[in-house]
Structure 1
Amino acid sequence: MVFRSRRLAASVGIVAVGALLLAGCTGDDAPNPADLADPLPDDVAAQLEAATERAMQGAGAPGAVAGVWVPWAGEWVEGVGETEIGSGETPSATMTFRAGEITRSMTCDVLFALDDRGTVSVDDPVTTYIPSTPQLAEVTLEDLCDGLSGVRPSQNGRWSSILSNLDRNWEPREFVAEGLGRGMASAESWRDSDSDYFLLGMALENASHTSLRELYRTYVAEPAGLTSTTLPGDAPGTVELTGYYTSSSQRKSACEGEPRDVTELSPTFGYANSGVVSTVTDLRDYASALAANVGSGDDVEPRWQDSLPTDPEGDQWVRAAGGNLMLGTLVGQQGAMVGYSTAAYSDVETGLTVVVVLNNSAAGDEIAGALARELAAIAMQVPGEGQPDTTFPWTVEQAHSAVGSAAVCPIEGD
């Protein structure tokens, strides 16, 4: 409970900023993106496709899928490039891929669902369910969800062994041990730590005596109608969009040569942090439902009330709470799982929804996040009946520049 009180103290004076970012109507007032049938105008579609192709080049990805759903104007969903190098097959919105850190949001969905059922309390100490972590006696389950545990990230220290042993079976406790072994950091501010979600997944499984795979199915996939979203078990899950990775040596030589095919990654990797497999259309439905649940103004749900900036010295409209990132009025997540860079966001005010996947993870999550912001900013300008008189705290040009900054491979014309 100590870390929770520290968080509240640190957030005095900035909670109001988060509330202002979420002011306005809610996603409940907007049409369901799945019900949109009209295509966006051709000139807008061309702009969205060009932005996606540019990000794909910067990521070194042979393929990409992106979707933009604009309640007052229509939809645009496009596969660009190739599913697999040399295949000539264009990716589709129904192809499965590893969704990366969007998994974090789903793990927190399970936490709050089990809290509602009385199986756990979000204020329970981690040690209630993982007694072997006495250093976490004052860290709550909600602290893990919110990135406020002080546990350091684990995967950076294991990256070379992961890439050299793609088919190795991993145990969540291996990553937890790596994070805890690096010593505790300050819990005063948000930290991007995979260890938090490995710990949270383990705690939820122990508390419910149910596999995380089943918890996702019961509390995430079925309620939202996500027919292609799952956490693979020990057997390899079906991943239809081929995933690639461009090595650091290739990046130093302007990404010459073909990136490595890393599609056959062990399904035991990622777990509650980044292990979920999904599709663009499923993530559209997921992000839209998530935004509709956030609330607005003085009625923001507790899960998202005390958002904190991801960088105290950076843009204050980039915030985190409840296992989600909050970019202005967009709520969702972005991530980089071996082979894929992904982002899924929906606007709590208008219901505008954006999902992207690039099938190369070398550029990390920043390039997918920047592309999502660029597509969202383009879409917000599309005229139509009911077009909102609102803007995002970034411009198309700023997001376009951010894509270039995140690129690890040359972009033609830049």
Structure 2
Amino acid sequence: MLRKVVYTIIIFCLFATCSKNDDSNELPKFSNQTVQSLDSIINSEIQNQNLPGVVVGVWVPGVGEYVKTFGKANLETEVPRELTDQFRIASITKTFTGLRILQLHDDGKLNIDDTLVKYFPDFPKANAIMIRHLLNMNSGIKDFADHEFLHIWYDDLLMPFSMEEAMELSVQDSADFYNAGDSVIYCNVNYTILGLIIENITGNMISEEIHEHIFKPLGMNSSIYPNDKILPGKLKGYSWNESENKFEDKTELNPDVPNAAGAIISNIYDLKRYVKALYTGELIKQETHEEQINTIQMQGSPEWVQYGLGIINLCGFYGHNGTIFGFSTEMFYLPEKDAVIIINVNRLDVDDNSKSGPLFFKIAKYLFPEHVKW
């Protein structure tokens, strides 16, 4: 689900048969020097951050591709990481939930300028909070997923939970809500509420809606919105136990905790297909897409850290990142170069500090120095 720091800035940011259905064979290869430099960047971060394993996919049409694995999928069996590993994408899930909301807007089933009064009339400030505010992270709602909650969940990853409970927890802090539309502040419960709205309008589970209207049309055959604790395949996710000086297996968890804000499982090839479709507005109307990518600076962050309607903009890299116990992931698209960068690390600790963020920032800066400000 959850948010956290991506390198030196704060960015708040979770079954089918695995298949390699990309067009990577059509791309040239990067030069040996570029490959060696990328190898060096990644190996350095593996050493510095004690990362169990890493999968990196970089595709730059007309220039080259770099698709590679490092380290272990399972520290006990020493099975290596594979390119087709399915992993928990955490908060990247928000882009799917947001996209489904925008599709329903296009279909006339809802309007993103509807207020919560229409769906949850008893919710605090329901007459002022619009669906648009939830999408844009400027609803004013306080996030329940603070450090105290994270520690509780860390110790009991299978604890019972529901989207309704998440809403109830946020209501307890309603005295601390700020005015909707004032500031863009990352809040997981925004997307939990959006998930409930999707279910209320369609009469279907959020997992069914995302499968039918996003996974299926895009051919994302290795992506699932899980309804149980299982992660398909051999990959394990780890957290470092500081007091015992060892890794702990955090692979299995109750997906109802991250829910519509962070539950999805995918792999690098599906995310490659998806992030470009997300940015280009392939599954929504053009006018809706223009609103989607109209991004606003996030409070307390540099001016180049911005949030749109379910999408992050970092210096023109569009997509999202995600952190959830055991896994840290980056998914970004640079339209000026038609370039995609996908990174997954099978480690995320209780502090929720991104392990993939430093890799993304260093790789993006090396490959596209003219586009970055970090």
- Please point out which of 257, 276, 294 is paired with 1:288: 276
1:21 aligned partner? none
Determine if the alignment matches structure 1 residue 185 to structure 2 residue 178.
Answer: yes
Aligned 8 A contact 2:93 2:260 in 1: yes
- Across the two proteins, how many residue pairs are aligned to each other? 345
Aligned 8 A contact 1:115 1:121 in 2: yes
Determine if the alignment matches structure 1 residue 176 to structure 2 residue 170.
Answer: no
AA aligned opposite 2:290: E
- Structure 1 runs of 4+ with >6 Å offset: none
Q: Distance between the aligned counterparts of 2:185 and 2:270, measured in 1? A: 28
- Please point out which of 191, 197, 210 is paired with 2:191: 197
Determine if the alignment matches structure 1 residue 392 to structure 2 residue 374.
Answer: no
* Structure with the bigger percentage of helix: 1
Residues 127 and 52 of structure 1: is their aligned pair in 2 closer, same or farther, counting only changes over 3 Å? Answer: farther
Aligned 8 A contact 1:345 1:353 in 2: yes
Q: Distance between the aligned counterparts of 2:71 and 2:261, measured in 1? A: 28
Q: Distance between the aligned counterparts of 1:41 and 1:106, measured in 2? A: 35
* Structure with the bigger percentage of strand: 2
- Please point out which of 218, 226, 231 is paired with 2:225: 231
Residues 93 and 365 of structure 1: is their aligned pair in 2 closer, same or farther, counting only changes over 3 Å? Answer: farther
CA offset at residue 65 of structure 1?
Answer: 0.6
CA offset at residue 69 of structure 1?
Answer: 0.5
User: Deviation digits for residues 151-180 of structure 1, max 9, x if unmatched?
Assistant: 111112311221121122321122222222
- 2:293 is paired with a residue whose SS is helix
Determine if the alignment matches structure 1 residue 320 to structure 2 residue 307.
Answer: yes
- 2:344 is paired with a residue whose SS is strand
- Please point out which of 305, 315, 336 is paired with 2:323: 336
- 2:56 is paired with a residue whose SS is strand
User: Deviation digits for residues 318-338 of structure 1, max 9, x if unmatched?
Assistant: 111111110111100012111
Aligned 8 A contact 2:28 2:62 in 1: no
AA aligned opposite 1:392: H
* TM-score between both structures, scaled by the size of structure 1: 0.78
AA aligned opposite 1:265: L
AA aligned opposite 2:202: S
AA aligned opposite 1:272: A
Aligned 8 A contact 1:100 1:275 in 2: yes
Residues 114 and 300 of structure 1: is their aligned pair in 2 closer, same or farther, counting only changes over 3 Å? Answer: closer
AA aligned opposite 1:291: Y
1:23 aligned partner? none
AA aligned opposite 1:338: F
* TM-score between both structures, scaled by the size of structure 2: 0.85
- Please point out which of 211, 216, 220 is paired with 2:214: 220
- Structure 2: state its 5+ residue gaps: 1-21
Determine if the alignment matches structure 1 residue 161 to structure 2 residue 152.
Answer: yes
Matches within 5 A, 1:106-185: 106-156=96-146, 157-183=148-174, 184-185=177-178
Q: Distance between the aligned counterparts of 1:392 and 1:211, measured in 2? A: 40
CA offset at residue 300 of structure 1?
Answer: 7.0
Residues 231 and 58 of structure 1: is their aligned pair in 2 closer, same or farther, counting only changes over 3 Å? Answer: farther
Q: Distance between the aligned counterparts of 1:146 and 1:365, measured in 2? A: 23
Aligned 8 A contact 1:97 1:239 in 2: no
User: Deviation digits for residues 95-152 of structure 1, max 9, x if unmatched?
Assistant: 1010011001111100000111111111111232233414322211121111011111
Q: Distance between the aligned counterparts of 1:309 and 1:33, measured in 2? A: 34
Residues 103 and 346 of structure 1: is their aligned pair in 2 closer, same or farther, counting only changes over 3 Å? Answer: same
Determine if the alignment matches structure 1 residue 244 to structure 2 residue 238.
Answer: yes
- Structure 1: state its 5+ residue gaps: 1-31, 251-255, 382-390, 399-414
Q: Distance between the aligned counterparts of 1:334 and 1:235, measured in 2? A: 22
Aligned 8 A contact 1:243 1:359 in 2: yes
Aligned 8 A contact 1:78 1:93 in 2: yes
Aligned 8 A contact 1:341 1:364 in 2: no
- 1:150 is paired with a residue whose SS is coil
AA aligned opposite 2:171: L
1:304 aligned partner? 293
**Percent identical across equivalent pairs?**
22
Residues 309 and 225 of structure 1: is their aligned pair in 2 closer, same or farther, counting only changes over 3 Å? Answer: same
Q: Distance between the aligned counterparts of 1:34 and 1:133, measured in 2? A: 48
Aligned 8 A contact 1:129 1:207 in 2: no
AA aligned opposite 1:162: W
Residues 130 and 66 of structure 1: is their aligned pair in 2 closer, same or farther, counting only changes over 3 Å? Answer: same
Which 10-residue stretch deviates more, 49-58 or 276-285? Answer: 49-58
